[in-house]
Structure 1
């Protein structure tokens, strides 16, 4: 991040956030505050790529796109960068995907950032009206799929290594966590 980011005074606007440009760090906007995390580990990236390949193959026939680490605008002042996003066909030249176009988000839980993925982001995505939230536990390989009920997520199904998770909405795909882990 630039020195100007550290000298910024007061809450960040969407425009100021976007003016930071692309960075090597993952920078998200949470209600006017920047949330910065380091680059993901190789384990995280391998899981993301393998899961993304499976989801993308299922998304295309359903008329959806699978995107990796893109800006998702949940509301003004709240821009997150999920690991994977399944969205309706979008404008690929826009700086962010609007929450209304997102059908499913996936977060691969980083050990040092678990509370953000399991609590804060889960709440933010539900409040924005996104229907599906998929959590991948790196340490155990457990997949937990949550469905939105009103403004909250409830667990819909779980998959463990050797016991696949089967999605039927927004796409049809079966994922064995054992195939994702290094």
Structure 2
């Protein structure tokens, strides 16, 4: 009989490249945020000078770190789950639960992406800007939200694909044994 089919490596390479980029962007955002805050605190406490926009930039970076960080966390399988319950399930039940989780997560991502684009559209049409020295058009930092959710959806799809391929290969291996 034929060997179980594994997922195409080219797809895994593209998803891995996306993961590497997201992880790097989130890491750089953390470093930039820390540097901005430390610089602002030092300047305020020593010479009484404030840039006046650091809090705004840090807020945008927190959003970026949150949405990109959840992508990294999901990809590393580090999201919270009730392991006590999950561990008691059979292998097939775990795979089915994983697929159900992926479907529900994708549905939630879809709804959030849909409404995030409404928010962005509204901010763009109204010309909404931040109330700081930067006067940032708010649709620009708001783009982080659907970007992070779309990337998360890609990672969820990849996870579901891998679980389905694992289930198929297990079924093929079971058929070979019989």
Q: Give TM-score scaled by structure 1 length.
A: 0.26
- Higher RCO (Cα < 8 Å, 6 or more apart): 2
Q: Give TM-score scaled by structure 2 length.
A: 0.26
